[in-house]
Amino acid sequence: MTDYLPHPPVEYIALPAVLSALGDETRLAIIAILARNGERAMTCGQFLQFGSKTAISYHVAKLREAGIIHVRPEGTKRLLTLRRGDLESRFPGFLDTVIASTAATLPYDNLGTPEAAQFAGE
Kindly tell me which of 75 and 93 has the beta carbon lying closer to its own copies: 93
Q: Which of residues 58-117 bind its own copies (CB under 8 A)?
A: 90-94, 96-98, 100-102, 105-106
Kindly tell me which of 61 and 79 has the beta carbon lying closer to its own copies: 61
106 is a contact residue toward DNA (CB under 7 A)? no
Say how far apart CA 110 and CA 108 lie, in whole Å: 5
CB count, 10 Å around CB of 105?
A: 13
# residues contacting DNA (CB under 7 A)? 25
Say how far apart CA 81 and CA 70 lie, in whole Å: 5
| Residues in touch with DNA (CB under 7 A) | 3, 20, 23-24, 26, 43-45, 51-62, 71, 75-78
